[in-house]
Amino acid sequence: MIYDICAYFQVLFDSNGVLRKFESVDQIFREFFHMRLEVYQKRKDYLEGMLSAESLKLDNIARFIMEKIDGTIVVGGYSLKMQIS
């Protein structure tokens, strides 16, 4: 479905937070395109960071499990008395 959007003399806040009169919808799109692109990039960087941290955490968990299976690392196995003293 394709249709035209008619907007005449819309007064909106621009990307700097100042009221401005826009003559057309195209002018509004052009004003906010770069601002939205920056926000999308920040969101992408944040999500990549979160995924990297999650990946690092899972890698460490997998390494711990493999070392536990191989016997490289010993966790527990001591009585409570030996741990206290």
**Is residue 14 included in any domain, yes or no?**
yes
Helix then strand then coil, in percent of the chain rounded to 5, is: 60, 10, 30
**Is residue 84 included in any domain, yes or no?**
no
Write out the residue range of the structural domain in which residue 66 sits.
Answer: 10-74
Q: What is the pLDDT of residue 78?
A: 60
Q: What is the pLDDT of residue 3?
A: 67
**Is residue 60 included in any domain, yes or no?**
yes
Q: Per the structure block, which two tokens stand in for 18?
A: 């100042």
Type of residue numbered 29: F
Whether the model clears a pTM of 0.85, i.e. scores above it, the answer is: no
**Is residue 85 included in any domain, yes or no?**
no
| Domain count along the chain | 1
**Is residue 24 included in any domain, yes or no?**
yes
pLDDT single digits (tens) 21-79: 888 888 888 888 988 999 999 999 999 999 999 999 999 999 999 988 888 887 776 64
Report, as an integer, the average pLDDT of 3-25.
79
**Is residue 79 included in any domain, yes or no?**
no
